[in-house]
Copies of this chain bind each other. A is one copy, B any other.
């Protein structure tokens, strides 16, 4: 049995850093946390359980993710809002080649800037593949599986 203990803090802090970047409206920073060839996918539990391919977001590399965020900043018109990530249950379940397999649960509360309305926007489980590079820990793959089939309106800001 492999001892993952030495990796827990780095893995945890990488996952937290991603959440902070989004919550603090520095969304661009998440693109520095994925490998150039890294993948970022957001999919419903319903589709994931049935192995249906449709995803809400599916970026095959960091450049696509940067593009998505640029579109959020420049092209999309939407009511200003922000997220708050509450994460729990970080678990390193295994290792494939050089990447650690990690899961955790997430709950994201969305607050509308103008009205102040808060609601649970998404809950679910995230499946990560994390590589410890000389430049620090990086995501090779992030798969967010959200519990509800219903995403209110369009999802603008990445999870």
Instruction: State whether B149 touches A116 (Cβ < 8 A).
Output: yes
A84 at the interface (CB under 8 A from B): yes
- Which residues on B sit within 8 Å (CB–CB) of A107? 84, 86, 107, 109
A13 at the interface (CB under 8 A from B): yes
Given contacts A9-B8, A87-B88, A88-B86, contact A19 B105 (CB under 8 A): yes
A158 at the interface (CB under 8 A from B): no
Residues 96-129 (chain A) with a chain B CB within 8 angstroms: 103, 105, 107, 109, 111, 113, 115-120, 123-125
Instruction: State whether A89 touches B85 (Cβ < 8 A).
Output: yes
User: Residues 47-86 of chain A: 1 if any B CB is under 8 Å from the residue's CB, otherwise 0?
Assistant: 0000000000000000000000000000000000010111
- Which residues on B sit within 8 Å (CB–CB) of A20? 89, 91, 103
In the assembly, what is the distance between CA of A23 and CA of B89, in Å?
A: 12
User: Which of A9, A13, A119: most chain B CB closer than 10 A?
Assistant: A13
In the assembly, what is the distance between CA of A8 and CA of B85, in Å?
A: 20
Q: What are 8 sample pairs from A and B whose C-beta atoms fall under 8 A apart?
A: A13-B91, A17-B91, A19-B105, A20-B103, A85-B89, A87-B88, A109-B120, A120-B120
Residues of A within 8 A of B (CB): 5, 8-9, 13, 16-17, 19-20, 23-24, 46, 82, 84-91, 103, 105, 107, 109, 111, 113, 115-120, 123-125, 147-150
